[in-house]
Structure 1
């Protein structure tokens, strides 16, 4: 922490007392430290400085000596002190930093320091921090049976939020939506891998930016850093899953393993692949096609041919004519119906159907995870 302040020190020197009447009514005089007239000054230093230990006081500023023996030393100081920052809630954090002032060679019986007042009328606001409170306290420490006095100035600083909201928090939350949009992008566009890799690289840049703006400490981990890292992991996972889905889309003509066919013969699969709709364009809960198993009591009709297709609510469905029956059924998009055994019809699941279902599953999974992570991070920030 860097602080520029104006410090005033006062003490009484019994050797500098005179009767001003005897000296023509002169009640005070000014003296510099380098003048021939030697004036004693206390050796006071900042104990928690991160630089060299330098005695407070500047020879360029004159000291005022009064006839009562009171000496006043005023000097401007620029301090760089150590501050143990807690960055858990960065950039919505509040820090408490101390400036410890003490003597090295004097005991309490020789130099007893106290704080009279702390003035903040001339304080200039900082563009990043808001000064919430400034307090002073006095402590006594005992070393080798000698008691010394320490003065502690405590600054409570609150980080200003608008800059970080605009340049960090809001862009991060909007960027997390790109992990979800990856699975909404059609595979046929050919831009899915490009989008996922671009999102991944953007998160890598944000990680470096956040790392440069934080102090190097391992005592606390910022929530925003954990949030960026978690979304970065999701972005890496999105790239891997995108490659997997592209591989599945390219397996047209290959047979889907039986275990996967059984896994995707369910109502969820129909919903994830746009589902089956009845004559009126609405889902028919009583229709056996919703169960994907087509269990019937009688013999299954045999599919002879497909006469034509019909468009319902913007979706195109083939109309199948069954031998020995006047019933006409619409088939599911991407699922071919085959005859397997008397009394049962099963859809023939292809790789395109599997990929479409996985697209929907990954889309809703990533959306849920991203919303939960954003909600948890926001709750922690607001509660703080």
Structure 2
């Protein structure tokens, strides 16, 4: 490590600029971005006088030919060092005559997705840089924009894509204690630089092609009771609507991570819609079964209670307590069960 004076610390400034957000894949929780990562530090061993070398003030060199900090980012998708956990393995560095160096790198990162508010959700993806072996006693990593605050935005205005809108890309410094030895009390502090990518989903696509059709199908399911019983198409009609809602529910499941931490509100809505249409399907089957009964068929007591007591409560209609009299009046004259003669006869039969 290029420390020329005893007791000094090597300071490395870390900066990142977001050019383009490619994708945030929710099922795999993989963040694909095009970023420009730059680290700058001073190496006292690479200082020269430009006048002695034809006024050459800087040159480019492979990072593997010079000393570079062993920086890693915790959210790397690679599980070993050879495939990119160290960010400056095969990049190109720029060396200046005063000893300042800069190196760049491109990468993909892991981002934990919170799907509770899907598709009206906002995500925050952290990209954390730190040294692998050097603690704060000899090495200091800081963000290039300054010491305090996170007001600087490290993203271009055109960085958003068709699905996500970049609302901010601030950075900040922090200190983290790690266990460096075999014993539990052997800890050391390490400096870290955190870049936080803030995203907000553009919900117009999901609202137009998923939410609105589901609302329309749920509304159309109520019209199954307006179909004549004799046509025999009630069950096929509402079963088709039920299968369509199940297909939409499967589409939602394919676009979210397989996690048991939370259930998206859109998935809850589809599940409730499937339950309501399933209940309507059972009611259609029950009504079709009752319509095929003979004229002297008397419904069971639980069915009469549901129809004449619970039914009006659900439909916000006045409750008829004398449900048996109403039923007998309907059996005597199905076309006009509310006539006075039928009602009186039904009341007398009920009292008897």
TM over 0.5: yes
* 1:176 maps to 2:218: yes
**Aligned with residue 196 of structure 1, among 221, 224, 238:** 238
Aligned counterpart, 1:79: 108
Aligned counterpart, 1:372: none
Is residue 94–residue 159 contact of structure 1 (8 Å, CA) maintained in 2?
yes
Is residue 155–residue 168 contact of structure 2 (8 Å, CA) maintained in 1?
no
- In structure 2, list runs of 5 or more residues that go unmatched: 1-30, 146-152, 179-185, 316-324, 328-332
1:164 partner SS: helix
CA distance in 2: counterparts of 1:231 and 1:11, whole angstroms: 59
Is residue 12–residue 69 contact of structure 1 (8 Å, CA) maintained in 2?
yes
Could you say which structure has the larger radius of gyration? 1
Cα 1:33/1:252, change in 2 over 3 Å = same
Cα 1:265/1:211, change in 2 over 3 Å = closer
Cα 1:252/1:102, change in 2 over 3 Å = same
Give the 5 Å matches for 1:133-282: 133-143=168-178, 144-256=186-298
Total equivalences in the alignment? 284
2:274 partner SS: helix
CA distance in 2: counterparts of 1:135 and 1:44, whole angstroms: 20
**Aligned with residue 75 of structure 2, among 12, 30, 48:** 48
Give the 5 Å matches for 1:252-331: 252-256=294-298
Aligned counterpart, 1:95: 123
Aligned counterpart, 1:68: 98
Aligned counterpart, 1:128: 163
Aligned counterpart, 2:19: none
2:285 partner SS: helix
Q: Which moved more, 1:214-223 or 1:125-134?
A: 214-223
2:175 partner SS: strand
Q: What root-mean-square deviation, in Å, do the aligned CA atoms of Structure 1 and Structure 2 show?
A: 3.3
2:295 partner SS: coil
CA distance in 2: counterparts of 1:115 and 1:2, whole angstroms: 22
1:219 partner SS: coil
- Name which structure has the greater RCO, CA cutoff 8 Å, separation 6+: 2
1:84 partner SS: coil
CA distance in 2: counterparts of 1:152 and 1:130, whole angstroms: 20
1:323-350: CA deviation from partner (whole Å, max 9, x where unpaired): xxxxxxxx7615498989xx9422799x
Give the TM-score normalised by structure 1.
Answer: 0.66
